[in-house]
Amino acid sequence: MDFKTNISVSNSSELKTKKKEVIRNKQTMLECRGRR
């Protein structure tokens, strides 16, 4: 039980970090377009 729950928690945290990275990439893309 603990092993499975631990995996789910780690996966959720990884997904959150990935979402943050995607948001940052989108912001940088918008900034590059704005500068141009």
Please provide residue 26's backbone torsions phi and psi, each rounded to the nearest 5 degrees: -65, -40
pLDDT of residue 24: 93
pLDDT in the model for residue 10? 75
- Please write the tens of the pLDDT for every residue from 5-35: 766 777 788 888 989 999 999 999 888 887 7
From CA 8, how far away is CA 14, in angstroms rounded?
Answer: 10
Give the domain ranges of the chain. 1-36
Q: Report angle CA 16, 19, 22 to the nearest 5 degrees.
A: 155
Confidence (pTM): 0.53
Model pLDDT, residue 25: 92
